[in-house]
Structure 1
Amino acid sequence: MSTAAASSPAAYTGSAAIALTPEALRAHWQGHRRLTRRVIEAFPEDQLFTFAVGGMRSFGVLALEMLSMAAPMVRGSVTGEWETTFDRAPRPKAELLKAWDESTAEIDALWGQIPPARFQETTTAFGQYTAPLYELLLYCVDNEIHHRGQGYVYLRALGITPPPFFERE
């Protein structure tokens, strides 16, 4: 295979990884999800949906945003149907954690149904975001990391030491 063909996304057949296999991407994301779950757990119940700094949204609201994207992104990747409604009403921490766990399990259950070549296909998610699927999935990961960082700031402002950011097991 020529160098040009080897570096072309169109040359990807699913049998060799360009940079990261689909399974490695899923495992990486799930590591972030485990850490974000620990950040949710660290919040006092009465501060999860009420505490914010500098006009930003509460961490509970941010966690609901993450939930509205994660499993729906993977589900849409498999089915082509993009859920655009999500209940973002505040809820007890136990319910938020339950929804987080259900979302995590759904990602795991659906991930293997995404054909490897699909990661390179351009798609429009949620009727408005057009990009190759791998970019849309990476956006979900990036968004989670960004909002988790806000959660770290909130926890520190509340006098709570957040979980180490590098511990994703």
Structure 2
Amino acid sequence: METTLKETAKLHEVITPTDLINHWQGHRSLTRRTIEAFPENAFFNHTIGGMRPFSEMVMELLGIAGPGIKEIATGKTAPLNEHFEHANQKSKILELWDEATNEINTYWVQIKPEQFQKNIKIFGQYEGTVYSSIFYFIDNEIHHRAQAYVYLRSLGIEPPAFYER
């Protein structure tokens, strides 16, 4: 009997849930240092080529990460929210970032290993597996952090080393 790739993956785990959360939290730490590197005004106003300010990108990330993991863990769907009241200072954004990190850690341990292959519809609209949703959260963060690196360089600021996670 021929074994499918999906069946093989179940038999031979390549990355554990602990490995995955540690990888993601390494990226989150790097993104936090990227936020810190911005001057206050530039964080909220600097743009290039029609892209959004990094503050708006970060609010998108905040709307996805913690709430997404909470939804995966609890099964309770909530609409995607990328707007946060009183998020008009970098210090408040960093506070929200830290709260999201704690939320991720709290709900992550509630996700059972067998759930990662489960099909879900995150935020009531994006279909995939738990794994693919988490990989999207991570990939989206990397994408926006790369945009922030371009912004920082255009401001004459050396961004944090991308490999120091």
1:87 to 83, 106, 121: 83
- Please state how far the C-alpha of 1:141 moved relative to its aligned partner: 0.2
Offset from partner CA, 1:1-38 (integer Å, 9 cap, x none): x7717x434983xxx65211111110000000000000
- Please state how far the C-alpha of 1:155 moved relative to its aligned partner: 0.3
Q: Which amino acid aligns with 2:32?
A: R
Q: Which amino acid aligns with 1:118?
A: Q
- Segments ≥4 residues shifted beyond 2 Å: 7-12, 85-90
Offset from partner CA, 1:134-154 (integer Å, 9 cap, x none): 000000000000000000000
Using structure 2 for the length normalisation, give the TM-score.
0.92
Corresponding residue number in structure 2 for 1:136: 133
CA distance in 2, matches of 1:22, 1:83: 24
CA distance in 2, matches of 1:64, 1:140: 13
**Matched residue of 2:121: which SS?**
strand
- Please state how far the C-alpha of 1:81 moved relative to its aligned partner: 1.5
Whether the 8 Å CA contact 1:61–1:88 is kept in 2: the answer is no
Corresponding residue number in structure 2 for 1:100: 97
**Matched residue of 1:142: which SS?**
helix
Q: Which amino acid aligns with 1:110?
A: Y
CA distance in 2, matches of 1:44, 1:88: 20
Alignment of 1:1-169 (within 5 A): 4=3, 7-9=5-7, 12=10, 18-84=13-79, 85-88=81-84, 90-168=87-165
CA distance in 1, matches of 2:144, 2:18: 24
- Please state how far the C-alpha of 1:75 moved relative to its aligned partner: 0.1
- Please state how far the C-alpha of 1:88 moved relative to its aligned partner: 4.1
Q: What percent of counterpart residues are identical?
A: 45
Q: Which amino acid aligns with 2:114?
A: A
CA distance in 2, matches of 1:157, 1:118: 43
CA distance in 1, matches of 2:57, 2:105: 22
- Please state how far the C-alpha of 1:109 moved relative to its aligned partner: 1.2
- Please state how far the C-alpha of 1:53 moved relative to its aligned partner: 0.3
- Give the length in aligned residue pairs: 163
CA distance in 2, matches of 1:62, 1:4: 42
Whether the 8 Å CA contact 1:65–1:88 is kept in 2: the answer is no
- Please state how far the C-alpha of 1:82 moved relative to its aligned partner: 2.5
Q: Which amino acid aligns with 2:148?
A: G
Gaps of 5+ in 2: none
CA 1:10/1:117 → structure 2, altered by over 3 Å: closer, same or farther?
farther
